[in-house]
Amino acid sequence: MALLSAEGLNKRFGAVVAAADIAIAIDAGERVSLIGSNGAGKTTFVNMITGYLKPDAGRIVLDGRDITALAPRAITRLGVARSFQIPQVYGELSVLDNMLVANACHDRRLSFRLPAQRPEAVERAERLLERFRLLEHRNRRVAGLAGGVRKLLDIAMALTGSPRLLLLDEPTSGVSAEEKFPLMDTVMAAIGHDSTCVLFVEHDMEVVARYASRVVAFYSGRIVADGAPGAALATEDVRRYVTGELLTEV
């Protein structure tokens, strides 16, 4: 049984078709990159999976359970987490306090006001920070950190609930060319500890080819390619509508 499956998803915004009969099955442990130009339907797909948008038709199943009508918080509690293109972090708090707040969101026993009173919460946060190579920043205020470090923190915070499925929205966006591979190496190594399934939206084809085990390409609300990176990136539709290689050759 697939960890996540979508069956006949459709979504329109007026005359705009954002999803047209999307059907896909994703297994536990996969590393799937979602690619496509702006407006292709990637974000709509992610928003439907996470409950921020409801499809006009179709259903979404997580590990055998229909989650189509569930609210984002309920979906999160079932093991789906998400990080964002712009890191959703608390700039005035320290790195450790950001982690403790994220942990408190997943553990109802914890207090937002006094999270440090539970040593096990601090220990868990520090273990995650170490996996993401952020422990040296433990007591630093987040607003003063580099963009790549804030990205890593945002993803580490998403992992505090030990999700089975993690969605990353353009993890290398805003990161320098020199930082993108070290950042992704760190992310994939940290995630690999838990065999978490990862879906990541990405525009950098070097990143896609290097870190994805599977590529799903969107165009005009439809999936136009789905397969191993080499095969998917070589298809005519991807070269024409996503990477623009055919247009360049004309």
**How confident is the model at residue 192, as a pLDDT?**
82
Residue limits of CATH 3.40.50.300 in the chain: 1-79+163-250
Statement: 1-79+163-250 belongs to CATH 3.40.50.300: yes
pLDDT per residue as tens digits for the range 8-43: 999 999 999 999 999 999 999 999 999 999 889 999
**How confident is the model at residue 105, as a pLDDT?**
79
The token pair that represents 27 in the structure block: 């297994």
H or E, element range at 248: helix 245-249
186 with 25: CB under 8 angstroms? no
Residues forming beta bridges with residue 7, ordered by sequence position? 59
Torsion of CA 111, 113, 118, 122, to 10 degrees: 110
195 with 29: CB under 8 angstroms? yes
**How confident is the model at residue 11, as a pLDDT?**
96
Give the pTM. Answer: 0.88
User: Which stretches of the chain score pLDDT less than 50?
Assistant: 111, 114-116, 250
Q: Is the dihedral of CA 143, 147, 153, 154 positive or negative?
A: positive
Which amino acid is residue 97, in one-letter code? D
Closest of 197, 202, 113, 204 to residue 163, by C-alpha = 197
